[in-house]
Amino acid sequence: MARPKRIVLATIEDTITPPDTLPPAHRIARITKAEGKNLYNAELPDGKAVLAELEAKFRSTVWIKRGSYVVVDTSGLADRENKLDGEIVNVVRDEKAWRKMSYWPKEFAKKSTYVEDSDEEESTVGKMPPVDSDEE
C-alpha cells in the first residue's frame, strides 16, 4: 500500500531547506553510482569513496541520480560489522541554497564549463581542414 500523501510531502519539504548547521558526524557527499537495494556509492570531499544506505523515510519517495549531493551520517553504522560506511540522512534538492551555507565543502565548488583561458589550443571540431596555398 502506498504511503499517505501528507507523509510524502513532509519528507520532500524537509529536503528543500538546508539546516543551519551540520552535526560533526554528518558529511556532504556526491553520489557516484547507484548500487541497487537502496545502496549508493558516494564520494566525500576528501576523495574517499563510501558505501551508504538510504534512510527508510526516503525509500520509494526520493530518487537520487548520479552526480547529486546527499548528507551522509558516518557514525550511524559504525558499530555494525558490514561494508556500509554510512547512512544517507538528507538529500540536497535546492543545491543553490545549500551552496550558500558555511559548511558546504570547497572541493564541491561549481566549475564553469566554458573555456576562459586563451592559452589553450583552439579546437578543430566541426571546422574545414586547412587549405594549403601551394596548390594555386
61 falls within a domain? yes
Residue 41: inside a domain: yes
CATH number at residue 26: 2.40.50.140
Using DSSP bridges, classify how beta strands 49-54 and 86-91 pair: parallel, antiparallel or unpaired: parallel
Tell me how far apart the alpha carbons of residues 105 and 25 are, in angstroms, rounded to a whole number.
14
Enumerate the H helices of the chain as residue ranges. 5-16, 95-99
Q: Is residue 81 part of a domain?
A: yes
Cell (9 digits) for 47: 576523495
* Domain, as residue range, for 101: 22-110
Nearest alpha-carbon partner for 58 in 94, 82, 87: 87
Judge contact between 69 and 40, C-beta under 8 A: no
**Mean pLDDT (the chain, rounded):** 85
How high is the pLDDT of residue 11?
Answer: 81
Best CA proximity match to 54, nearest among 68, 34, 81: 34
pTM: 0.76
Residue count of the chain: 136
Q: Output the furthest CA–CA distance in the chain (Å, rounded).
A: 79
Report if residue 26 sits inside a domain.
yes
- How confident is the model over 32-75, as pLDDT tens digits? 999 999 999 999 999 999 999 999 988 888 889 999 999 999 88
Number of domains into which the chain is organized: 1
**What pLDDT was estimated at residue 116?**
57
74 assigned to some structural domain: yes
Residue 13 lies in a domain: no
**Cβ neighbourhood burial of 80 (10 Å; 0-12, 13-18, 19+):** exposed
Is residue 77 within 8 A of residue 53, CB to CB? The reply is yes
Q: Is 43 part of a structural domain of the chain?
A: yes
